[in-house]
Amino acid sequence: MYFADSYCAWQKGTNENSNGLLREFYLKQMDLSLANEKEVQDVLQLLNNRPRMY
């Protein structure tokens, strides 16, 4: 999870979007301690390399 800093409202949109993308891979009921390092690295690779709008 990501949290916005106090008095930094401009961070909230990015955080909410990132949390939504992570929820596609890890549901709320999932125990994150069961995720192995390789799986987490693969998810991070997918999220970091997805196409972005300019």
Q: Is the pTM of this model over 0.75?
A: no
Give, for 13, the enclosing helix (H) or strand (E): helix 12-23
Cα Rg of the chain, angstroms:
13
pLDDT digits (tens, 9 = 90+) for 37-46: 999 899 999 9
**Helix, strand, coil share (%) of the chain residues, nearest 5:** 55, 0, 45
How far is it, in rounded angstroms, from Cα 43 to Cα 25?
7
Domain boundaries, the chain: 9-48
Mean pLDDT of 2-29: 82
